[in-house]
Amino acid sequence: MYAVYQSGYNVYGTGNSMQAAIADARQWIDGEANVETPRARIGGETIGIMYVRPCTARLAQAVRDHGGDVAYEINDDGALDLAN
């Protein structure tokens, strides 16, 4: 699974591939925002930039169930996951 998120803000889309996650996110993104591949850890990202990275199934399910305003973190595998 993959997720598109705006660093420091919300998750905008999920999908089984990077392309599917970006396509899902496009319905919530105004204009043609660029989606970048992030660095390994959140500390290396720029707040406000859109990124796509692998995500856990539980994060994807939470986004489907409750929308993209979820607390997230980067787990030890480098995937976006629900914050503990």
The pLDDT tens digits for 34-82 are 776 665 444 567 778 889 999 999 999 999 999 999 999 999 999 999 9
Can you say how many angstroms the Cα of residue 71 is from the centroid of all Cα atoms in its chain? 11
Q: What is the reported pTM?
A: 0.85
The DSSP letter of residue 50 is: E
- Across residues 5-28, what is the average pLDDT? 92
Helix (H, G, I), strand (E, B) or coil at 76: coil
The closest alpha carbon to 23, from 66, 63, 52, 47, belongs to 52
- 9: confidence class by pLDDT, cuts 50, 70, 90: very high
pLDDT over 90 at 26, yes or no: no
Please name every residue paired with 15 in a beta bridge, in sequence order, or none if there are none: 2
Give the position of tokens 């993959």: 2
pLDDT given at position 67: 94
The DSSP H or E segment spanning 23 is helix 18-26
